[in-house]
Structure 1
């Protein structure tokens, strides 16, 4: 893991009046998520939750990103490893819903309505596409969902990812994740 400072590489379109050049670059977190995804079983998932460090919301009401792997799901002779991303959560403001939806669609995610909630997913993805889509999803989270340096990044039910996130926090000069157990 590198100790590089946060950059300003915009990955998603900012809404009118926002400066997209101020978006956070997430290389350290993306590297950890990519590393963890490489150790997934052939058909497996893990979930990362993003919590506002200042608020206490009930579990399940937080923004989350599910990263999964599919291999040979429909054809056991198929050897390519493919991934998918699924983002769940509501934008900070109701007026941002349309803008957030357009941003998700603009980066290639599809909209899913279920049980009165909206989520966005993309896949199947090859590993190289997983990296760019992780950066793009984190930029949308930042623009419309309030994710930033004070956000708690928490693994849900994955002790290995919890360990990796804790190591990331110790190994960087940026404190954006605090692991809660």
Structure 2
């Protein structure tokens, strides 16, 4: 089965815990802990298509008790993306929207493999660099979409570069010691 792949050229956003702002293109935290669309051991870079969505994702449901964040913008020129917000793509994959919305953390904690991990593994094996996915943040609407990268680099065809023209991001974690 060959899925239609898309390319995104533009901006995406990510809200970081300030502790990790010195490494804004790392996917190691996601690899260590796993995420909705990456099993433990698989690096992933979670971004959002709107800054508001990045903020909501990072607050993890505590929208009225906002914690400090570092919001970054990224220049993206990335091919090989699969749109999992597209009903035809989901149908071609044999995936239901309820599978994407699974309680992935609960399943993983109980030793079960979430369906989104199976899906991510399958898409990565087929050469996908990432996927456009719905946001499952508290109060997310249809306009709230994320882009999860499994392969990214400083240059095309899988470019994801943080915008830091004035060098405002820290260069290392020495301020946290």
Higher relative helix content: 1
* TM-score, reference length from structure 2: 0.27
* TM-score, reference length from structure 1: 0.27
